[in-house]
Amino acid sequence: MAEFEPVLLRNVGVENSASLKVYTQRGGYRSAAKALKMNPENVVEEVKRANLRGRGGAGFPAGVKWGFLPKGRKITYLCVNADESEPPTFSNRVLMENDPHQLLEGILIAGYATRTTTAYIYMRVEFHEQFHILQKAVDEAYEAGWLGKNIQGSGYSLDCYIHRGAGAYVCGEETGLIESLEGKRGQPRIKPPFPAVEGLFHKPTVVNNVETLCCVPHIIERGADWFTSVGPPHSTGPKLFCISGPVKRPGCYEAAMDITVRDLVYGEQFGGGMSDGKELKAVMPGGVSMGIITADEIDCKLDFEDPRNYGLLGLGTSAAVVIDTDTDMRDVLYNICRFFGTESCGQCTHCREGTAWAMRIADRLRKGAGRKEDLDVLVDVANNMGMMPGMNICGLSDGAAFPIRMIVEKFRAEFEEHIRNQRPGRVLEVLETLR
């Protein structure tokens, strides 16, 4: 694994890194000044050439998304997805907490490139401290002329507001976010029309993730050729990786997307190996919704393509959950089913009913009242929860189905052993309490 110099996290650990003074002293807003002298279309082309793929989970090229905006539009909105609701992801929080002006510079450049006049940062309500840090940064940017009217004498104007969401997982989906921003219940919209054509307030809208926008200033400063030189051809640029669980050094780390799960767990510059002499059992490498791999599969590369070779839904938010051999997979399954069962917005029948039934079955299993046929039912529910790819209003049912199915299939022997060792009559006792 090649040496890597942090780019996105370069200011983390620097004293007063959240301040405008420190940010500008370390080269901040230099890229914005450069971009404001460019033609907006050239900024879009540079981001396209860099092949910056969205860091929020879907991995869709940001420059291509910007290019979907209709020609001749009069109003454009930019929505910044800072909801970060995928367990256990915290890379966006780290960026907003330690380097908020990096995000604001990315917003300014993206806004200029897409001819946006108003940007909304949709922030998860639990980010109390981060909200105040980011709001202070917004105020500093206005005072210094990096936001507001006629920015730095360029003739371009951009207003930026922070909107605090209510903590709904489904509002991490771009149209659910837009609905919430409009003051409605946070439920995803049926597409098409897509936000680029009809988004916020029914106007052309761009929705980008925090980490995605933080990459933009570095593309403008260093060039698309530099960005594409980092990582494999299909997964270019620096990337943030989170790791939590029983490892020696849980945290948020930056690397190129040529590392493996093994590197992330055992690498000295990353997780540093298992803590307290524990043994690795499994890893959820892309956040909970992407699925799970066993200890024998940790050579999976953390890029946009290889996770699918291991049956995973994708790279996701690249937030790894490490599970040790002392962990009961019944508890893991129940926690996941409970999360998705309570977070489903209920619009799609198969998602609403499937997640609810999965939660009930997983609850019985962990209480020692499972049946072998329950495992088949769980897999069947998961296989049918999404009907077929792309047939849901949003991806929540797929995100729920993948971990449920993969946990049952890959750890079926453990579940069956627990069922064999159950106390006789336990099934009837539990079923009686559920009446």
Which amino acid, 335?
Answer: N
User: Mean pLDDT, to the nearest integer, of 197-220?
Assistant: 97
Q: Which residues pair with 164 in a beta bridge?
A: 123
Is 35's pLDDT higher than 90?
A: yes
CB 82 within 8 A of CB 121: yes
Q: Which residues pair with 242 in a beta bridge?
A: 252, 319
317-356, pLDDT tens digit by residue?
999 999 999 999 999 999 999 999 999 999 988 899 999 9
Q: Which fold has domain 329-433?
A: de novo design (two linked rop proteins) (1.20.1440)
366-411, pLDDT tens digit by residue?
999 999 999 999 999 998 886 555 578 888 898 999 999 999 999 9
Phi then psi for residue 285, to 5 deg, are -80, -15
Closest listed residue to residue 241, CA positions, set 201, 194, 173, 300? 300
Angle among Cα 120, 89, 255 to the nearest 5 degrees reads 100
Residues 6 or more apart in contact with residue 167 via CB below 8 angstroms: 85, 124, 125, 126
Residue 1's pLDDT is what?
Answer: 57
DSSP 275-307: STT--EEEEEBTBGGG--EEGGGTT-B-SSSGG
Residue 129's pLDDT is what?
Answer: 96
Q: What is the location of CATH 3.40.50.11540 in the chain?
A: 20-228
In which element (H, E) is residue 166 found? none
49-67, pLDDT tens digit by residue?
999 999 988 889 999 999 9
226-246, pLDDT tens digit by residue?
999 999 999 999 999 999 999
Phi then psi for residue 312, to 5 deg, are -75, 155
How far apart CA 34 and CA 251 sit, in angstroms, is 33
DSSP 116-149: -SEEEEEE-TT-HHHHHHHHHHHHHHHHTTSSBS
How far apart CA 275 and CA 19 sit, in angstroms, is 36
128-166, pLDDT tens digit by residue?
999 999 999 999 999 999 999 999 999 999 999 999 998
Q: Which fold has domain 238-324?
A: Ubiquitin-like (UB roll) (3.10.20)
User: Mean pLDDT, to the nearest integer, of 235-262?
Assistant: 97
User: Mean pLDDT, to the nearest integer, of 24-44?
Assistant: 97
Sheet holding 238-244, edge to edge: 251-256, 238-244, 319-324, 280-284, 293-294
DSSP-derived letter for residue 388 is S
CATH, domain range 20-228: 3.40.50.11540
Backbone φ/ψ region at 328: left (φ over 0), alpha (ψ -120 to 50), beta: beta
What the block records as the tokens of 181 is: 């921003």
Lowest mean pLDDT among 181-195, 252-266, 381-395: 381-395
